[in-house]
């Protein structure tokens, strides 16, 4: 469904992403792992059009989407959440998701219908499904960090995506929040049939939900494979874990 | 129409305010009616700026250009063509909106302070043209004694006209702020990257906001022609732009009615302070510092905060 072909991006000569490749099939959950600064976020930024690649291509459902603007990528039904919480801080939880739904339905050029009369049902359904419905009238400044991360996902869902990219969805969450978030991701994959690409530092989560794993080191994607394959791969252990004596977990 | 804008006590105050505004000419002497007219149209101007500044997060620091250009366009039509004055009135705002589009297209590729700097430069360019093109605009003399239709030539006629047009524009702008476009604009203000990522074409939306803001500034411009029957280059000088920005900040740039309140405060102060001292800008500067340090959300923002204190749910730490 998504195919990234030898994509590269440098910042002032520093190769943040270097010849990276990635393949995601429909319905899969693929995890990207790698140490801090490996270039995971940069890779996601390249896929979603926030950054323009120096070279390389991104294909989505066979179509070349390299270099499209983020809003155009979103219209191809690719949505994402951000590692650093990126919500509308002066709007309420409800409005945050509502804007996303309005945008999806191309209603943001409407100047005269009150927003309060539009896409209420859809927005409530999304809030219900992520468990934020009780807090929908709060401004996001009054949310806990964990709830804001969930709101990130809810906003991404507002775009009615087929393909969901999550950048460290559980980072900084309390243990119960993490558990709920994992349930949510599984639910999105199983019940809604979303294809999910995410990155995460917590290996337990990665091995818990991913079908396949891509390992990234210093901007390059070194191995992509099933969990067991990656777990015992020599190159991964050398490069990423720095120890070759034991299998991961 | 007021019901949609205000609730409970606010609604009663709103109706009371409206009735008072309509009865004012029966009570107040001519000079004060003139001042109230100026407050109304300047409030409209400040609110139009706030569409892009407070709601859109776009640093349009030289907004007076659209006001001045709207006024000049109307004035030139009235003095130099034989067309119906009512057509001139609508031409002013359209010219301003067109200028909003052109300047917007040039500036929009830059963000934040870079946008502001380019916009101020382009605005100053327009001012220079108006100031220097003596044969066309009258240069620093401006244009005086602009002929108006019969019913607008009396102070009360001009006042009621200004009041009604301002109210209509307020209603339209309020609708826009509460519309999906308004929601998207506020999202863009809070976080442009996020807005792009949920499928909003950020630049296009900002451009439309700039056109709309230009249009309503132009309306304020032609209202000034109606009230004052003059235009002069100072209408598009950057100090006026600064004053409008201060009106937004002072009244509260996150409240819809804030800029109108700010306009009222500034104009009342200016009118009365200048009878005592010529250091008006000094007073303005001190006022500005006071606002920044003590009322970061403006007067109305402060009042709303006090009113809602009990209503907002407390932070719950899970
Ligand atoms: N806009 C930028 N300008 C300059 N350097 C950048 C920029 N964005 C990222 N980098 C650099 O690129 C490298 C990869 O960053 P990236 O954020 O993609 O890593 P990451 O794998 O997401 O790390 P983490 O696990 O900490 O989130 C880092 O060394 C970072 O400093
Ligand atoms: Mg990252």
pLDDT in tens, chain A (249 residues): 999 999 999 999 899 999 999 999 999 999 999 888 899 999 999 999 999 999 999 999 999 999 899 999 999 999 999 988 889 989 999 999 999 999 999 999 999 999 988 999 999 999 999 999 999 999 888 888 999 999 999 999 999 999 999 999 998 888 999 999 999 999 999 988 999 999 998 888 888 899 999 988 888 888 787 777 777 777 776 666 554 444 444
Number of domains in chain B: 1
Query: Do the Cβ atoms of B288 and B52 come closer than 8 Å?
Result: no
**Residue B311 domain-assigned (yes or no):** no
Tens digits of per-residue pLDDT, B66-114? 999 999 999 999 998 888 889 999 999 999 999 999 999 999 988 888 9
d(CA A119, CA A103): 11
Q: What are phi and psi of A108, to 5 degrees?
A: -75, 0
| Residue minimizing CA distance to atom 31 of ligand 1 | A37
Distance A21 CA to ligand 1 centre (A): 17
Highest mean pLDDT among B22-31, B281-290, B308-317: B22-31
Mean pLDDT of B13-32: 89
Do the Cβ atoms of A103 and B191 come within 8 Å? Answer: no
Is A91 within 8 Å of B178 when comparing Cβ atoms? no
Structure-token pair, residue B304: 């709303």
Tokens of A103: 């945008």
Rg over CA atoms, chain B: 20
Residue position matching structure tokens 């870079």: B114
Report pLDDT for A241: 58
| Residue B245 lies inside a defined structural domain of this protein | no
Instruction: Give domain status of residue B67, yes or no.
Output: yes
Residue B165 in contact with residue B171, Cβ under 8 Å?
no
The continuous run of DSSP H or E covering B235 comes out as none
Q: Is B305 on the interface with A (CB under 8 A)?
A: no
Domain-located, residue B12: no
Half-sphere exposure of residue B3: CA atoms within 13 angstroms, side-chain side: 0
- For residue A38 and ligand 1, the question of a CB distance below 6 A is answered with yes
Min Cα–Cα distance to chain B from A230, Å: 31
Pocket of ligand 1 contains residue A16 by CB under 6 Å: yes
**Which pair of tokens denotes residue B231?**
């235009």
Domains annotated for chain A, with CATH where assigned, are: 1-77+161-249 (3.40.50.300), 87-160 (no CATH)
| A100/B317 touch (CB, cutoff 8 Å), yes or no | no
Pick from B176, B183, B198: which is nearest to A155 by CB? B198
Domain, as residue range, for B143 = 34-236
pTM score of the predicted model: 0.90
Residue B244 domain flag? no
Report residue A195 as tokens. 């294809």
Q: Is B309 among the domain residues?
A: no
Pairwise CB contact (< 8 Å): B186 & A118: no
Q: Which H or E run includes A155?
A: helix A145-158
* Average pLDDT for B41-66: 95
What residues pack around ion ligand 2 (CB closer than 5 A)?
A 40-41, 83
pLDDT reading at B128 higher than 80? yes
Whether residue A199 contacts residue A167, with contact meaning beta carbons closer than 8 Å, is answered with yes
Question: What torsion, rounded to 10 degrees, do the Cα atoms A20, A25, A30, A34 define?
Answer: -10
Q: Do B173 and B216 form a contact (C-beta atoms < 8 A)?
A: yes
Distant-in-sequence, close-in-space partners of A71: CB < 8 Å, separation ≥ 6: B196, B197, B199, B200, B201, B202
The answer to the question of residue B173 being in a domain is: yes
Distances (CA, A) of B46 to B43, B83, B90, B303: 5, 30, 20, 19
CA A40 – ligand 1 centroid, Å: 8
B275 within some domain: no
Q: How far is the CA of A43 from the centre of ligand 2 (A)?
A: 9
> Does the pLDDT at position B311 exceed 80?
no
Conformational region of residue A130, where left means phi above 0, alpha means psi within -120 to 50, and beta covers everything else: alpha
Farthest CA pair distance, chain B: 71
Q: ipTM of this predicted complex?
A: 0.88
């Amino acid at each position: 469904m998504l195919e990234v072909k030898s994509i590269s991006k440098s910042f002032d000569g520093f190769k943040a992403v270097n010849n990276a490749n990635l393949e995601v099939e429909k319905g899969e959950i693929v995890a990207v792992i790698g140490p801090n600064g490996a270039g995971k976020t940069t890779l996601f930024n390249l896929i979603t059009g926030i950054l323009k690649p120096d070279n390389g291509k991104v294909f989505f459902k066979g179509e070349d989407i390299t270099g499209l603007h983020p809003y155009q990528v979103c219209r191809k039904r690719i949505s994402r959440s951000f590692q650093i919480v990126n919500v509308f801080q002066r709007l309420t939880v409800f409005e945050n998701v509502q804007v996303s739904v309005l945008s999806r339905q191309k209603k943001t050029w409407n100047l005269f219908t009150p927003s309060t009369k539009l896409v209420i049902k859809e927005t409530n359904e999304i809030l219900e499904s992520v468990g934020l419905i009780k807090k929908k009238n709060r401004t996001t400044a009054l949310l806990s960090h964990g709830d804001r991360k969930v709101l990130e996902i809810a906003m991404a869902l507002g775009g009615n995506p087929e393909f969901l990219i999550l950048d460290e969805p559980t980072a900084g969450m309390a243990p119960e929040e993490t558990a709920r978030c994992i349930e949510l991701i599984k639910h999105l994959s199983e019940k809604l049939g979303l294809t999910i690409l995410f990155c995460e530092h917590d290996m337990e989560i990665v091995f818990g939900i991913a079908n396949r794993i891509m390992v990234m080191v210093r901007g390059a994607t070194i191995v992509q494979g099933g969990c067991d394959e990656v777990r015992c791969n020599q190159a991964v252990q050398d490069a990423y874990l720095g120890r070759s004596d034991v299998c991961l977990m | 129409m007021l019901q949609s804008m205000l609730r409970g006590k606010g609604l009663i105050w709103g109706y009371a305010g409206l009735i008072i505004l309509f009865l004012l000419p029966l009570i107040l002497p001519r000079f004060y009616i003139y001042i109230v007219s100026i407050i109304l149209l300047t409030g409209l101007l400040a609110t139009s700026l706030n569409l892009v500044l407070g709601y859109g997060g776009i640093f349009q620091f030289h907004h007076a250009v659209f006001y001045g250009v709207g006024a000049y366009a109307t004035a030139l039509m009235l003095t130099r063509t034989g067309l119906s004055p009512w057509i001139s009135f609508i031409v002013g705002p359209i010219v301003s909106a067109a200028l909003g589009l052109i300047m917007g297209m040039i500036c929009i590729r830059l963000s934040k302070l870079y946008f502001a700097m380019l916009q101020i430069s382009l605005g100053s360019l327009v001012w220079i043209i108006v100031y220097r093109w003596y044969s066309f605009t009258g240069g620093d003399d401006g244009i005086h004694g602009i002929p108006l239709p019969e019913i607008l030539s009396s102070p009360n006629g001009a006042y009621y006209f200004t009041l009604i047009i301002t109210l209509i524009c307020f209603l339209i702008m309020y609708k826009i702020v509460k519309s999906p476009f308004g929601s998207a604009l506020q999202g863009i203000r809070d976080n442009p990257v996020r807005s792009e990522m949920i499928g909003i074409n950020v630049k296009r939306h900002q451009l439309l906001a700039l056109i709309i803001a230009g249009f309503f500034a132009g309306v304020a411009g032609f209202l000034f022609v109606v009230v004052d029957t003059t235009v002069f280059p100072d209408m598009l000088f950057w100090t006026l732009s600064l004053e409008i920005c201060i009106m937004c900040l002072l009244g509260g740039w996150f409240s819809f009615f804030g800029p109108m309140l700010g306009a009222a405060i500034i104009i009342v102060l200016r009118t009365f302070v200048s009878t005592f001292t010529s250091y008006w800008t000094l007073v303005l500067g001190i006022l500005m510092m006071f606002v920044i340090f003590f009322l970061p959300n403006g007067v109305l923002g402060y009042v709303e905060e006090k009113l809602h204190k009990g209503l907002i749910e407390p932070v719950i730490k899970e």
